[in-house]
Amino acid sequence: MKKRILSLLLCCVLLVVLLPVTVSATEGTATVTLVNQSDWQDGSGYQMLMDSTATAYGTHIAPNGPLVLNGDSTEEVYSSFAYKIPTDAGWTRDTQAVVHYGSSQTIEIPAGIYDFCITNPTPGGSIWIVGSNGEAYSRADDFEFKAGMHYTFTTSRYGDRDGVTLTVTDVVPPVISGLTDGKSYCGSVSFTASDNIAVQSVTVNGTKLQPVDGVYMLNPADGTQTVVVSDADNQTTVSVTVNDGHTYEWQSENGEYWQKCKFCGNETTKKPIPEIMISGADRVCRTQDYAFSLKLPEGGKLITTSYEFEKIGGDLTATLENGKYTIELGSSSYPAEENGFKVTVSAETADGFAIKAEKSVTILNDHTGGKATCKDKAKCEVCGAEYGELDPKNHADLKHFPAKAATKTAEGNIEYWYCEACGKYFSDSDGTKEIKKTETVTAKLKDDSKSPQTGDTSNFALWITLLFISGGAAIGTTVVSRKKKYNR
């Protein structure tokens, strides 16, 4: 048959040159081992020669007899065998590049169709091909080496002859799909089992499982469940844990929070982390109690409110009213040597995620801000308490009165300013030049008319003067008259 193939190839040589060569191989590799259990006590060993083109049988490999009788082979012949055991197998009859008694060698070859022979190069003799006393072929034409299989050829003596036995084992283990060794699952999990030849059994913790439409099912159970899938020569084992539901742990990153199952990795929907709104001053006077309020996100639950100084701290009591919490820290809790503290609020969202808010507060040893006036002391902008001294130059309610000219019937006034807070009058807008109230008044104008007018009380002084003069004249006349009498 090989000769016919060669004839066809020679006739179609041009076609062979033009077209790519197709190798008769299947996907994957096969494992081949040569074991020597034949002790000829002559220092000889065994070789295995494999032709991947499957053309050596009938040409280099005779159907019977030795590879070479009473001589050596050639390097060219040995080079035509793509795979050899040992890989450096020598082509002479006295070569030591052989598998010696009591040893073995293994190689991997592409799966496919091969011609092969197992030889025994004998020093000073021939390059023999193992006899046919064994159960297997020592030479073969178009032998198929299948992917995933391990072929073990063992040479043994049968009296003064030798032979070969062949053991074929499956080296490809079954495949379990849908389960990962060491992983935990939450809820029932399905899987499949496959093999390059055939699956013989599937068990879990020693109990055989039966598939439904080719699918196996693992249900929740305590402890580890060990699945074993067996074929003729191999086993694949996977150990898993199947929990009854998820066991979630909180996660947060980039302003979002969610839950992740610590066993299977399942995650819930991510949500924005809500904020606790703390309303309170950044500063407090040492004599002032610190009060602040807070509002939780909708559905939130308050866990604790607390304060913390550098060396001491404690919990605070929160009072809830109309959806708003109020909290107070008494000034008696302020250590004299510390100038600030921190308040902390811990809460949970409606679904149980822990949230926290903090606020730092500075303690002022002295009042600050505000402005004193002529009437009131400065009021601290932090605590609202009055402190310091009055400022007589800072008038709280300085009112301006423009100048008003006097008339014959009414007094006038100069331009002046009046502070209702301290009740003082000033001649300047800055309130620095104090004057008396009487100094603000200007007198009525004089009336130049000579004829007294009834009802005009402005001429009353003139009438008194005239009366006084008239009376004086009368008295003078009487005195003169008396003198005259005395002079008589």
For residue 402, cis peptide bond before it (omega within 30 degrees of 0) = no
Contacts 24+ apart (CB under 8 A), 160-164: 161/131, 161/133, 162/38, 162/120, 162/130, 162/131, 162/133, 162/134, 163/130, 163/131, 163/132, 163/133, 163/134, 163/135, 163/138, 164/118, 164/130, 164/134, 164/135, 164/136, 164/137, 164/138
- Domain endpoint, select from 125, 143, 170: 170
Shared-domain flag, residues 165 and 180:
no
Lowest mean pLDDT among 47-61, 103-117, 128-142, 174-188: 128-142
Q: Is residue 386 part of a domain?
A: no
Q: Which domain holds residue 24?
A: 2-170
Shared-domain flag, residues 177 and 241:
yes
Q: Is residue 76 part of a domain?
A: yes
CATH number at residue 266: 2.60.40
The total domain count for the chain is 4
pLDDT one-digit tens code per residue, 52-71 = 999 999 999 999 999 999 99
Beta carbons of 33 and 152 less than 8 angstroms apart? yes
Q: Is residue 475 part of a domain?
A: no
Task: Give me the DSSP letters along 34-73.
Answer: EEEE---SSS--BEEEEETTS--BTTTB-SSS-SBSSS--
CATH number at residue 303: 2.60.40.10
- Domain endpoint, select from 271, 288, 313: 271
Shared-domain flag, residues 8 and 67:
yes
Shared-domain flag, residues 11 and 146:
yes
Lowest mean pLDDT among 79-83, 92-96, 429-433: 429-433
Shared-domain flag, residues 244 and 348:
no
Q: Is the pLDDT of residue 223 over 70?
A: yes
Shared-domain flag, residues 263 and 281:
no
When pLDDT is averaged across residues 427-438 and rounded to a whole number, the result is: 92
Shared-domain flag, residues 160 and 237:
no
Q: Is residue 7 part of a domain?
A: yes
What pLDDT, on a 0 to 100 scale, did the predictor assign at position 4? 44
pLDDT one-digit tens code per residue, 3-17 = 344 444 433 433 333
**Residue 260 Cα distances to 30, 246, 349, angstroms:** 45, 9, 17
- Domain endpoint, select from 251, 271, 291: 271
Q: Is residue 375 part of a domain?
A: no
Give the predicted TM-score (pTM) of the model: 0.51
Q: Is residue 389 part of a domain?
A: no
Q: Is residue 377 part of a domain?
A: no
Q: Is residue 212 part of a domain?
A: yes
What pLDDT, on a 0 to 100 scale, did the predictor assign at position 23? 36
Shared-domain flag, residues 154 and 13:
yes
Share of the chain above pLDDT 70, in %: 86
What pLDDT, on a 0 to 100 scale, did the predictor assign at position 485? 36
Which residue has better confidence, 84 or 475? 84
